[in-house]
Amino acid sequence: MVDDEGANGARPIVRRLGAFEERDDWSAAGWCRVERALEVVGTRSAMVLVRELFYGGTRFDDLARRAGISEAVAARRLRQLLDDGIVERVPYREPGQRTREGYRLTDRGRALFPIVVALTRWGDTLKDDHRTGLEFVHDSCGAPLDVEVRCADGHVVDLAESAVRFTDEEFALRYKAAHRP
């Protein structure tokens, strides 16, 4: 589903991943989904734009200014997010104005929500200045949002209760080999 190039021949998602696959060292790159994610939203400008989109911004101008980045950077990053399928353009029209184009998160982009909330919560703990400007809340009850790590069976999982499991034979061998050569 990821490599559908569309009718216009757009490059596949996560295109820069190629650089990893060509690497001859065994490194976790290419295996690791954290790195895949960082290829797309690993830059400051990408994340603050995504943040503004979650805050409800749609117009180019608003996004750039609220994100606190220059318009040049905003344009570059938005185009990239467009290519990566994180945002899509959507026409809108203000009363008495001509139709314009705005930006909106796609499903793939909306799936970044837990990451944004997690980053927000963690960033919260870095400083005791609590004048944070705005926060995510549950619409119906008004309580602020947080993230919780759970397993597929529904148990809340503390870090101490979590483990790492190898799912690939070859990977496990190479990974362990790196431990004691």
Q: Which residues make up the interface to DNA (CB under 7 A)?
A: 43-46, 59-62, 68-73, 75-79, 100-103, 180-181
Distances (CA, A) of 65 to 36, 147, 178: 28, 28, 46
Q: Which of 18, 71, 79, 114 binds its own copies (CB under 8 A)?
A: 114
* Distance in Å from the first CA to the final CA of the chain: 39
Question: Which among DNA, its own copies, none contacts residue 78 (Cβ within 5 to 8 A by kind)?
Answer: DNA
Nearer to its own copies among residue 5 and residue 146 (C-beta): 146
Q: Cα separation of 115 and 177, whole Å?
A: 32
Q: How many residues bind its own copies (CB under 8 A)?
A: 93
Nearer to DNA among residue 91 and residue 142 (C-beta): 91
Is 137 a residue that touches its own copies (CB under 8 A)?
Answer: yes
Minimum CB separation of residue 43 from DNA in Å reads 4
Minimum CB separation of residue 143 from DNA in Å reads 32
Q: Which of residues 12-71 bind its own copies (CB under 8 A)?
A: 13-14, 17, 23, 25, 27-29, 31-38, 40, 42-44, 47-48, 51-52, 54-56, 62, 65-68
Is 4 a residue that touches its own copies (CB under 8 A)?
Answer: no
Where is 49: in which H helix or E strand?
helix 44-54
State which amino acid sits at residue 26: W
Residues in the chain: 181
Nearer to DNA among residue 94 and residue 148 (C-beta): 94
Q: Cα separation of 2 and 12, whole Å?
A: 7
Q: Cα separation of 85 and 172, whole Å?
A: 32
- Under 8 Å between Cβ of 136 and 145: yes
